[in-house]
Amino acid sequence: MKFMAELANIPWNLILPIIVLQLILMTIALIDVIRHQRTNGPFIMWIFIIVFVNLIGPILYFVFGRRQV
Amino acid sequence: MKGLSVLLQKEWREHIRNYKVLWIPIVFIVFGILEPVTNHFLPEIMKSVGNLPEGADFTWPEFKGEEIFVSLLGQYQLIGVLVIILAFMGTISGERKNGTATLLYVRPVSFRYYFLSKWIVVNGIVLGSVWLGFMAAWYYIDALYNHVNALPVLGFIATYSIWLIFVVTVVLALSAWLPTGGAAGLAILVTLVYQVIDSLIGAYWSVSPWKLSMYASYWFNPDSELSDLWMSLCLTVILIAILVLFGIFMSRRNAAKTTV
């Protein structure tokens, strides 16, 4: 119950936009990686980087991982 | 003029296809939101994860909205400029390398329009992203801190925009001159590293594009001397014009280096 109370204490209206934007960024990167599968380095590695490295992961993928065609 | 509008459409479509019109604005907006929110909740964050000694009682600085704008600018100066350089370092050199340029150069396009189309579209994306980021930050600052007057904020953003146009022009001109890696390295040297040097030994001169990000914050201070700011703006605009000419010249000279 204490956990739930703490959860309710978080000012979600402030945090939510950040989470949504990060999810959008992650989704775009994932869609791109899965559709093209042509990356610098193994593409499974990029999926892990995109999903687990917060915020910087998708940026890293778009800058370094994406092979320009 | 028709050549320019066709090339503009080509650039725009390319940046939609490689998602740059999507991810660059999102990155700037996220940083714009994160800066006011983390500063606002800093005491609570430190309390829960900061490992403060028992009974430690810090008085956290009371931030004003204007200071948040300035610290956000500091973030953009490092991460934002790095993102701009890395995202657009291959705009021209990459096109030469992968052969897209060959398809373009065999057509009767003028190199002036070729370079300008890239310059306009990249500037549009970068400025749009940064403006969106500042707008998001402004909304949060109004909600979490104090109300900041519109006029200083607009002056602040406008001054910073000129610096960003300078950065974009440097990146594109270098990309027209050098291969992608060299362009990125030199662009980082010119924009980020030189900025540190300028702030260290730059006390001897006051007019410099690298000082624009510092002068931008003068807008929040009603009694600061703005003449250095205007001089720096003029110098930056002149440098931008020279760099654009250099970029056009270099993209024409290096046209033969394209992969066929």
User: What are the tens digits of pLDDT across the range A43-52?
Assistant: 888 899 999 9
> Are B18 and A21 a contacting pair at CB < 8 A?
no
Number of domains chain A is built from = 1
Is the residue at A8 inside a domain?
no
**Long-range interactions of B176-183: CB distance < 8 A, separation 24+:** B176/B92, B176/B93, B176/B115, B176/B246, B176/B247, B176/B248, B176/B250, B176/B251, B176/B254, B177/B246, B177/B247, B177/B250, B177/B254, B178/B93, B179/B93, B179/B97, B180/B89, B180/B90, B180/B93, B180/B94, B180/B97, B183/B89, B183/B90, B183/B93
Q: What is the pLDDT confidence band of residue B1, given thresholds at 50, 70 and 90?
A: low
Window from B14-28, B91-105, B180-194 with minimum mean pLDDT: B91-105
- Alpha helices per DSSP H over chain B: 2-17, 20-40, 42-49, 65-75, 81-88, 93-98, 100-105, 111-144, 150-177, 180-188, 194-201, 212-216, 227-253
pLDDT at B64: 87
pLDDT at B127: 96
In A, minimum Cα distance to B31 occurs at A18
pLDDT at B259: 79
Q: Does A43 lie at the interface with B, CB-CB under 8 angstroms? A: no
Residue B188 has pLDDT above 70, yes or no: yes
Is the residue at A1 inside a domain?
no
**Long-range interactions of A37-43: CB distance < 8 A, separation 24+:** A38/A67, A38/A69, A39/A65, A39/A66, A39/A67, A40/A64, A40/A65, A40/A66, A40/A67, A41/A65
- Nearest Cβ partner for B26 among A15, A24, A69: A24
Is the residue at A69 inside a domain?
yes
List residues bridging with A66 in a β-sheet: A39
Residue B41 has pLDDT above 70, yes or no: yes
pLDDT at B45: 77
Q: Does A31 lie at the interface with B, CB-CB under 8 angstroms? A: no
pLDDT at B132: 96
pLDDT at B48: 76
- Report the C-alpha gap between B39 and B29 in whole angstroms: 16
Residues of A in contact with B30 (CB under 8 A): 18, 21-22, 25, 55
A62 and B23 Cβ atoms separated by less than 8 Å: yes
Average pLDDT over residues B42-66: 75
Average pLDDT over residues B95-120: 88
pLDDT at A1: 65
Window from A9-13, B99-103, B138-142, B165-169 with minimum mean pLDDT: A9-13
DSSP B215: H
Tokens of A55: 């915020």
- Report the C-alpha gap between B100 and A25 in whole angstroms: 27
Is the residue at A23 inside a domain?
yes
Is the residue at A51 inside a domain?
yes
pLDDT at B50: 66
- Nearest Cβ partner for A68 among B23, B98, B140: B98
pLDDT at B120: 95
What's the gap in Å between the CA of A34 and the closest CA on chain B? 14
Q: What is the pLDDT confidence band of residue B254, given thresholds at 50, 70 and 90?
A: confident
pLDDT at A21: 92
> Are A58 and B23 a contacting pair at CB < 8 A?
yes
Tokens of B153: 């904020």
Buried b (16+ CB within 10 A) or exposed e, B7-46: bbebbbebbeebbbbbbbbbbbbbbbbbbbbebbbeeeee
- Report the C-alpha gap between A24 and B106 in whole angstroms: 39
Q: What is the pLDDT confidence band of residue B226, given thresholds at 50, 70 and 90?
A: confident
* CA neighbor of A53 nearest in space, from A31, A32, A34, A25: A25
Q: What is the pLDDT confidence band of residue B100, given thresholds at 50, 70 and 90?
A: confident
Low-confidence ranges of chain A (pLDDT < 70): 1, 68-69
What's the gap in Å between the CA of B216 and the closest CA on chain A? 27
Residue B95 has pLDDT above 70, yes or no: yes
* CA neighbor of B220 nearest in space, from B152, B162, B137, B145: B152
Count of other CB atoms within 10 angstroms of residue B252: 16
- Nearest Cβ partner for A28 among B19, B90, B98: B19
Is the residue at A32 inside a domain?
yes
DSSP A66: B
Is the residue at A62 inside a domain?
yes
Is the residue at A64 inside a domain?
yes
Window from A35-39, B70-74, B213-217, B243-247 with minimum mean pLDDT: A35-39
Q: Which domain holds residue A61?
A: 19-69
Q: Rg for chain A (alpha carbons), in Å?
A: 16
